[in-house]
Amino acid sequence: MVFLRLLKILRVFARYRLDQLLPANIPFGARVLLALFKFFPVPKMTRGECLRRACEDLGPIFVKFGQLLSTRPDLVPSDIVLELNHLQDNVVPFANEEFQRIVETSLGASVDTIFASYDKAPLASASVAQVHTAVLKDGREVVIKVVRPGIERVIDQDIELLLLVARWVEKNTLDGKRLHPVEIVEDYRTTIFDELDLQREAANASQLRRNFLHSPLLYVPEIYWDYTRSNVLVMERIYGIPVTDINALAAQHTDMKKLAERGVEIFFTQVFEHNFFHADMHPGNIFVATKNPQLPQYIAVDMAIVGSLTREDQYYLARNLLAMFRRDYRLVAELHVQSGWVPKTVRVEELEAAIRTVCEPIFEKPLKEISFANVLLSLFRTARRFDMEVQPQLVLLQKTLLNIEGLGRQLYPDLDLWVTAHPFLERWLKNRFHPKSLWGELKRYAPEWMEKFPQVPDLIFNSLQQLPLISQKLDALEQDVSRRNVQQHRGRRKLIALVAFGAAGYFLYRDTQGSAVLRDWLATDLSPAGVALIAIGLLALWFRK
């Protein structure tokens, strides 16, 4: 099945002649394969439309890749970005009859019984789900979201193909093990299959709604749990302007600078204060409320993918970002070693110099011209020298931050991510060690500590009892290591003796024409090299014990 899927990908690739989008400096083997595509006619479409249609034909994983590209106008040509924007919610819909059948089967009643009205035309059709509008019997306007039928099989085939490629990369490339491609693909498998569980998405939305309840920054629609199942979700219908509709935002005199800055603030609030962030913030999932254009509020939908970090990763990430902003490259290097992101054997001075080489030219530019994406990519290339491993738990965060930066620059090209983030991170680190915060941590964990406290004397007593046994094991291990070392030294000395005697024989044979050696070797003027090698061999045997 994986092989058939690969053939389909190559066929779609050839049909839309995507080889024309690739750079010239690709590997020789790939160039040979792409030469075959020249036998296919060039479609009468723009390059952006070719890429969009290819993503649509290949399914949700490729659609999501296109969605990510559409948020990077600083990396992707504008004509391609414009076309890829159609992937956000304009994927070809499936039949209304199938949609209605899934809803009625899951909820156990006809749509006429459940809803006062139901729109048969889809409101939006995305990569893994489709949405229709309806009105409940009590008059509340809602949207109904249903997972595409049969999508699990297509996703599973694509994941198997990605795993095949990841295993090959991990086994056959120098950076394979450091990059953990198999682990990253496995994490993505978990993420995308979680996205197919609409009850999980509903739970994520409820949590995010609580986190931003009454917030002027972000509004999250309400979930109606009585009508929500694993493949059907019913939630409050929202009205807003799509965040990519720049003309509509400008028409209502939206403060675009404030809008972009609030997007960054929302991201850092989710990551550091709530430790629960919306990790799929592409433009199709984000709207802007029309109530107060001068203090614009975001509206978020589709909370299928969320992320969180450990407390340690939060701390190290915040300190790394601040240290980079202050150009304290020594601290950045030390934090990378302390966090375990690079091996402990790495010399901090060398890592510091490498980070300075990457960052200093970037920070010589005006801050508004600095792209965090370029900083990440440059640091990633530099990290190869120091065996820095990709942190799977940070991959989702990095992708989300790139989305946010790309979106912010679309809204306000002069967006200064660093200036917006800097005071927030300063405040967060200060509050983290504030007495009030420490007291809150103490109250949170005190019951658990008190529960375990009576066990502490027994744990100490048992540990003390184990000390003699541990000492015996260490002594035995030391003796075993010593014995192995002696055996290794003996083996080396025997090898030295063998090599020395062999070389001595060669020199003696050469200097006496061979035949005289056996007859009167004692009377012959022996080669100095031969004598020296005999002496080395004898000494090696003498001291072999």
* Catalytic center residues: 280
Return the SS3 of 145.
strand
Can you name the residues that pair with 233 across neighbouring β-strands? 145
Give the residue among 139, 135, 105, 141 at the shortest CA–CA distance from 118.
Answer: 135
DSSP three-state, residue 218: strand
Q: How far apart are CA 278 and CA 269, in angstroms?
A: 11
Please list, in sequence order, all residues whose beta carbon lies within 8 angstroms of the beta carbon of residue 188, skipping any fewer than 6 positions away: 159, 162
CB 72 within 8 A of CB 406: yes
What does the alpha-carbon distance between residue 387 and residue 350 come to, in Å, rounded to a whole number? 13
Neighbours of 231 (CB within 10 A): 19
Angle at 393 between CA 390 and CA 396, to 5 degrees: 95
Residue 412 — left, alpha, or beta (φ > 0 → left; ψ -120 to 50 → alpha)?
A: beta
In this structure, the strands spanning 115-118 and 277-278 are unpaired
C-alpha 411/C-alpha 243 separation (Å) is 8
> Residue 240 has which token pair?
């807003």
Greatest CA separation found in the chain? 120
Of the candidates 143, 162, 140, 159, which has an alpha carbon nearest to the alpha carbon of residue 151?
Answer: 159
CA distance 335 to 343: 12
Cα distance between residue 332 and residue 321, in whole Å: 8
Please report where in the chains the tokens 């199942």 appear, as a residue: 229
- Cβ contact 426:94 at 8 Å: no
Eight-state DSSP code of residue 196: T
Task: Give the three-class secondary structure for 109.
Answer: coil
Q: Which two tokens stand for residue 90?
A: 């304009």
Distance from C-alpha of 352 to C-alpha of 339, rounded to nearest angstrom: 15
- Name the amino acid, one letter, at 120: K
Q: Is 478 exposed, middle or buried (0-12, 13-18, 19+ CB in 10 A)?
A: exposed
Q: How many CB atoms lie within 10 A of CB 492?
A: 12
Helix, strand, coil in percent for the chain, rounding step 5: 65, 10, 25
